[in-house]
Homo-oligomer: A and B are copies of this chain.
């Protein structure tokens, strides 16, 4: 069992009321891979420039992540994002985006990456998502994320990409936007009509909701008193969610999906406690299990 993630590898400069960092390792594929690495073998596919150094590869290797499909583009620069958050961390502002090598990204997958049992198509252009999906025929579970940019500029291709995956993970606002249906339950049903059997609505600090053939399941976010940097929370959620599913026998039963929601919630909660990858890169498996127990007791309603 192994998992392939295709997405951005980035340097993030982030300022929040609790501090700032320059050019931290980030990007959807990185946050996802670190979270998933606690549950299964992970292959990362994505482009970097000359500015991507040994220490960054090392950080991924330290979690056992396969970096052989990280493509180094000579003379190029790694995708760069700069942003800041208000005192209310739900409000984010982008100050600078430099696509660099990400602008011409054409995913190249090794045999190992192509034969993964689980595939996550991070937030990249939907045509590329479709192309990667068709290369990974062995994947028993394929999932994708997207964003408002692609809903606005490449909606048809995105709907086509969605029709070819088993699971969609989107923010609830994106689900509403894509389906033009403000009622989330109806919007999720509409999305399932495109093809996927599972829709996960990410709801920021409110947690996440799951829609599948069995109905509905929801978990709140962990009530953390110390949140330093929300960047990458959604990708960490997806990593915990799909990493756990890949580590099971792969039939993604309703019970597996619920537990995957819980692991996603737990990984996202660790991610936001420190800047960038600082917390998750030092995380231990028993900390994950401990927090899972806390989450279970925080949501338990006796008969």
Contact = CB atoms under 8 A, between A and B. Distances in A.
A302 B258 contact: yes
B218 A220 contact: yes
Contacts of A303: 296
A225 interface: yes
A253 to B, nearest CB: 11
A298 B215 contact: yes
A298 B254 CA distance: 11
Nearest to A261: B301
B301 A227 contact: no
A194 interface: no
A293 to B, nearest CB: 9
A245 B264 CA distance: 34
B184 A205 contact: yes
Given A89-B182, A182-B88, A216 B209 contact: no
Contacts of A302: 255, 258-259
A184 B298 CA distance: 16
A15 interface: no
Interface in A157-204: 176, 182-186, 189, 203
A220 B262 CA distance: 14
Nearest to A303: B296
Contacts of A301: 219, 258-259, 262, 295-296, 299-300
A223 B185 contact: yes
Nearest to A214: B297
Contacts of A207: 206, 218, 220
Interface in A93-108: none
Contact of A183 (B185, B225, B300): B225
Nearest to A188: B223
Interface string A278-298: 000000000000000001101
A224 B216 CA distance: 10
A185 B225 CA distance: 6
Interface of A: 87-89, 176, 182-186, 189, 203, 205-207, 209, 211, 215-220, 223-225, 227, 255, 258-259, 262, 295-296, 298-303
**Top 3 A-B residue pairs of the complex, sorted by shortest distance between their CB atoms:** A218-B220, A206-B206, A185-B223
